[in-house]
């Protein structure tokens, strides 16, 4: 009889304990913060806000964009590195994430240990543009002139270490040409001087030159990605690879990271939401101006992609002796 009462007492205590323990929350159960390491209004901000809305629709929680510009994306990236690894803080990384370790003497975070890849979103081409009255009407003409006149032709960029700068250095390394780099503080003044003929060309982002090409203020000769852009404006523009420099490939890209240590099941859920969102009609239509080639995959695929980018651009940066501004 004593044993029965003891057993009943034990069961009642166990039941009371179970009732007091809160049920395990199902991720996500509150809003997700998506850090953008740039100011509002640019291409990365557009991609982040559009994919964020698609993720919100899929995950049934708000995805709030948090702009943290500065330090060549380092300020926003560092904010993620110092965030809890719970899936509620993410960052939209770009080309800068792969090149900063080679450009900066010291970073406030550990590139190898502080981030968990979630998903690549897509790759956007740079567009090689010249002034509308430039003597170069095709990429082949420009390539021939660059090779026969080393050190005579110049190209602009929005700053040292940017995608526009490194696209030119990749051109030099693959052709033996010696285009002269002219850095500016922003794409606006750089393109102004290209249009005015003070600089011969620029490997500019698609979003920066789309309207100028359409208005006839710039002439587009080639795109830097391995395949042509599906954007109607750029569809007829050949790639550099098909126009005389086989295997040439350069471009801006966008991908999402979480802090290292984020549970794998959370990473997988975020990855699935991003992949679905990137294929939506709304996302595709809104990023058209970026010339974005959507290219998603697994978290492991994104990790390998970023590492390959880091390795190949390190080679270019070192060989050209590029340092930060």
Please report the domains of the chain, with CATH numbers, ordered by start residue: 32-124+252-319 (3.40.190.150), 125-243 (3.40.190.10)
On average, the pLDDT of the chain sits at 90
Distance from C-alpha of 160 to C-alpha of 248, rounded to nearest angstrom: 20
- Answer yes or no: is pLDDT of 3 > 60: no
Q: Which of 224, 217, 172 is nearest to 193 (CA)?
A: 217
Distance from C-alpha of 68 to C-alpha of 11, rounded to nearest angstrom: 53
SS3 40: coil
Q: What is the mean pLDDT of residues 201-205?
A: 94
Helix (H), strand (E) at residue 282: helix 281-286
| Each residue's pLDDT tens digit, 87-116 | 999 999 999 999 999 999 899 999 999 999
Model pLDDT, residue 5: 55
Model pLDDT, residue 187: 87
| pTM for the whole structure | 0.85
Beta bridge mates, 186? none
Is residue 147 within 8 Å of 139, Cβ to Cβ? Answer: no
State the Rg of the chain over Cα.
24
Q: What is the mean pLDDT of residues 189-216?
A: 92
- 119 burial (CB, 10 Å; 0-12 / 13-18 / 19+) is buried
């Amino acid at each position: 009889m004593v044993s029965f009462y003891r057993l009943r007492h034990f069961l009642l205590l166990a039941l009371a304990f179970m009732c007091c323990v809160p049920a395990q929350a199902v991720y996500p159960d509150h809003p997700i913060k998506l850090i953008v390491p740039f100011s509002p209004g640019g291409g990365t901000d557009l991609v982040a806000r559009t994919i964020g809305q698609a993720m919100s629709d899929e995950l049934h929680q708000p995805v709030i964009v948090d702009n943290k510009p500065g330090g060549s994306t380092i300020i926003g990236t560092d904010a993620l590195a110092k965030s809890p690894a719970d899936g509620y803080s993410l960052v939209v990384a770009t080309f800068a994430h792969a090149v900063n370790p080679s450009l900066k003497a010291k970073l406030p975070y550990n590139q190898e240990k502080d981030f968990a890849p979630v998903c690549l979103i897509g790759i956007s081409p740079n567009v090689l543009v010249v002034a509308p009255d430039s003597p170069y009407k095709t990429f082949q003409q420009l390539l021939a002139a660059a090779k026969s006149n080393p050190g005579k032709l110049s190209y602009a960029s929005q700053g040292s270490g940017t995608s526009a700068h490194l696209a030119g250095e990749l051109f030099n390394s693959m052709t033996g040409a010696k285009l002269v780099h002219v850095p500016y503080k922003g794409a606006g003044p750089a393109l102004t001087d290209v249009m005015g003929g003070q600089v011969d060309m620029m490997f500019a982002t698609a979003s920066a030159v789309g309207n100028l090409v359409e208005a006839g203020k710039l002439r587009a000769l080639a795109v830097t990605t391995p395949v042509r852009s599906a954007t109607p404006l750029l569809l007829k523009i050949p790639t550099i690879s098909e126009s005389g420099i086989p295997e040439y490939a350069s471009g801006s890209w966008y991908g999402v990271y979480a802090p290292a240590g984020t549970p794998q099941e959370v990473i997988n859920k975020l990855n699935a939401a991003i992949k679905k969102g990137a294929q939506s009609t709304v996302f595709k239509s809104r990023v058209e101006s970026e010339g974005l080639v959507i290219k998603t995959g697994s978290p492991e695929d994104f990790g390998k992609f970023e590492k390959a980018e880091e390795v190949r651009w390190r080679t270019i940066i070192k060989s050209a002796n590029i340092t930060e501004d």
